[in-house]
């Protein structure tokens, strides 16, 4: 992968993180499925970029971020299947 493509992918991941953070601070009730899916996608894109422009600290951070988002995404999917709403109550 070329350095330019890696930069574009990394910027796309950063935009997803910023968008998710803005969303979380704007809405009254967070859609955890959406929030965690966007964060996971952002982390994957940034990790892809880091495979070209390696930085150990950023790689550790993004790996942790992706892991947390993945756990949150799995929980959000399970909650949706169980009929739990965004506030954590059965609907």
What confidence score (pLDDT) does residue 86 get? 59
43-71: burial string, b at 16+ Cβ within 10 Å, e else: bbbbbbbbeeeeeeeeeeebeebbeebbe
Q: Is the pLDDT of residue 33 over 60?
A: yes
Q: Kindly indicate the confidence band of residue 91, based on its pLDDT and cuts at 50, 70 and 90.
A: low
Least trusted range by pLDDT, from 30-34, 58-62, 87-91:
87-91
What one-character-per-residue DSSP string does 33-47 give?
HHHHHHHHHHHHHHH
Alpha-carbon gap, residue 90 to 65, rounded angstroms: 28
Q: Is the pLDDT of residue 88 over 70?
A: no
pTM of the model as a whole: 0.88
Mean pLDDT of the chain: 94
């Amino acid at each position: 992968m070329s350095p330019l493509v890696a930069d574009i992918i990394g910027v796309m991941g950063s935009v997803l993180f910023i968008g998710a953070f803005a969303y979380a601070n704007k809405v009254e009730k967070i859609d955890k499925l959406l929030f965690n899916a966007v964060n996971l996608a952002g982390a994957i894109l940034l990790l892809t970029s880091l495979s070209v422009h390696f930085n150990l600290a950023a790689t550790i951070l993004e790996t942790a971020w992706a892991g947390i988002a993945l756990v949150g995404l799995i929980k959000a999917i399970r909650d949706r299947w169980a009929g739990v709403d965004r506030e954590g109550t059965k609907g």
